Amino acid sequence: MILNIAAYHFVPIDDPAALAGQVRALAEAGDLRGTVLVAGEGINIFLAGAESAIRVFLDALREDPRFAGIVVKESRSQAQPFGRLKVKVKKEIIAFRRDRSSPLEGRAPAVQPEDLERWIGQGHDDSGRKLLLLDTRNREEIEHGTFSGALTLPIDNFTDLPEALTPHRSALADAVVVSFCTGGIRCEKAALWMQAEGMDNVLQLEGGILGYFERVGGFGYDGRCFVFDERVALDAELKPLVDATE
């Protein structure tokens, strides 16, 4: 079995190129494949390989105090879902290009998967406010599945979200809005930006869809969750639609 990991961590990186070189060396030593993005704001990781090699990689990464608390989501597949290793230095580990959206300056409130499961069943949060789920992913991802009744936006790129959200602002005003994405990284920025725009009723789903699947299963979710590798999409048991071949 191949162990697949997805992780991100926002933390100031003074020398992204140096960190990228270190990460590449660690990944190559374990014959890991996938994509790692490094920027001045942190690191974003999608890697797969033998479990022992993944554990060695994570142990080494966490020896760096900046990444001691990195949270990792795991899934398994029969074959390697990535063709090669790519380690890149970027301006952002997830491009949004909006002011007042930096997770280095703060974090929007989050809702835990167990609480969201309960809210979905109730149709409202614990104070009685109407629940509205906001999908921050693009249309290609949404085609594979989303939470039942979620507000979805006709966007191709995450950077398009602010403009696409504008016509829906009034509909969001009287609800508790839970934003979600694949693993949580996009909502780290989107929820902050929405709060800065005056939407103080916005929360982010802790761990995203994959974290929800891992902790509570698929209650309230229709379909699968698109992932960025050859597995295509995962079901609520984190099993792939397509088990890639080497």
Catalytic annotation present for 187: no
DSSP state letters, the chain: -EEEEEEEEE---S-HHHHHHHHHHHHHHTT-EEEEEEETTEEEEEEEE-HHHHHHHHHHHHTSGGGTT-EEEEEEESS---SSEEEEE-S-SS----TT--GGG----EE-HHHHHHHHHHTB-TTSPEEEEEE-S-HHHHTTEEETT-B----SSGGGHHHHHGGGHHHHTTEEEEEE-SSSHHHHHHHHHHHHTT-TTEEEETTHHHHHHHHH-STTEEE-EE-SSTT-EE-TTS-BSS----
Instruction: Point out which residues pair with 49 in neighbouring strands.
Output: 3
Which is the catalytic residue, given 58, 176, 181, 210? Answer: 181
Q: Active-site positions?
A: 181
